[in-house]
Structure 1
Amino acid sequence: MAKNAVDDYVCSTSWDSDLTRPVPSKWVPPPLGIHKVNVDNASSEQDNFSSVGVTIRDNNGQVVGALCLPLQSYYSTKLTEVFALEQGVLLARELQLPRVIFESDSLAVIQAINDKAMGSTFGHLILGIFQVCDSFESCHFKHLSRNYNTVAHELA
């Protein structure tokens, strides 16, 4: 057992960093007092449609809100994913949820949000999302694997 900061450092540097962390096998609930908002999109250029799905669950995994919204035309996957995130933020505000985690399986969109990419193609939507987020006590955006976003995907 390490007895001081130097021992702690030596001990931590000896850990095998190549060990893979266990990957969750299912959707992971948020901590107590926080709601998790999962969003996803569906788009078909061939069928000329796009839609978004949103599900909001509490720390017990109970659904407290959901949304399925067909859009009036086809939009790119990335733009539709931003629409989905926007709808999730708006629904969480409507439900007056104070602390939320927003999750999407679109890494590019989550990175754009977290980088505050206002100069991007959909920067005006990101700005709107941040304006709504000011109404929350806490608000975080996270990427998750498509495998753990099935409920929002099915809604979309």
Structure 2
Amino acid sequence: MRNETVLQWKLPPCGKQKLNFDAALFHDINFAGVGVILRNEVGEVVFALSRKEIGVSAVDGIEALAFFRGLQMLLNMGCNGLIIEGDSMHVIDDIKSREPRFTSQVPIIKEIQQILRHLSDWELSHVGRWGNEAAHFASKTCLYGG
């Protein structure tokens, strides 16, 4: 038996919604998939997104793009009281930082930071893979219908 901590997805607190984002790279067929899930305080899916993305080959870049795609959906909904979770520590750290690492995804990180300034009540946290399983699954489903 492996000695590892398994984190499970948890309901957001009353009055909040939770946005999970993830991405998957498919190097052999030259594209990536993003997955985003927004769930309410009882765990019901408010929206889900599975989208094929072309031209992104860096893991952190596609993870940042998944986050961005989720925020694009939220902007049209006027969502507040938001908990945002992803399993890429690099992306989470860059978004929380005043100066993201000098990488190719700096422009998208800056755009995400700008959008977040317009949301009044949000928090961002890193979650382990098992706490982000639904978004991970959504990132891979673009293979079958996207």
Q: TM-score, normalised by structure 1?
A: 0.79
Q: For 1:1-150, list aligned pairs within 5 A.
A: 26-118=8-100, 120-121=102-103, 122-150=105-133
Q: Which runs of 4+ in 1 moved over 6 A?
A: none
Cα contact 1:30–1:59 (8 A) shared by 2: yes
Q: Closer, same or farther in 2 for the Cα pair 1:78/1:62, shift >3 Å?
A: same
Q: Which segments of 5 or more consecutive residues in structure 2 lack a partner in the other structure?
A: 140-146
What value does the CA root-mean-square deviation take over the aligned residues?
A: 1.6
What is the CA-CA distance between 1:58 and the residue it aligns to?
Answer: 0.9
Cα contact 2:7–2:127 (8 A) shared by 1: no
Deviations 1:35-62 (A, max 9, x none): 1100000102222110100000011111
Q: TM-score, normalised by structure 2?
A: 0.84
Identity of aligned residues (%): 28
1:81 is matched by which residue type in structure 2?
E
What is the CA-CA distance between 1:103 and the residue it aligns to?
Answer: 0.6
What is the CA-CA distance between 1:155 and the residue it aligns to?
Answer: 0.7
Structure with more contact order per residue of length (Cα contacts < 8 Å, sep ≥ 6): 2
- Secondary structure of the structure 1 residue equivalent to 2:28: coil
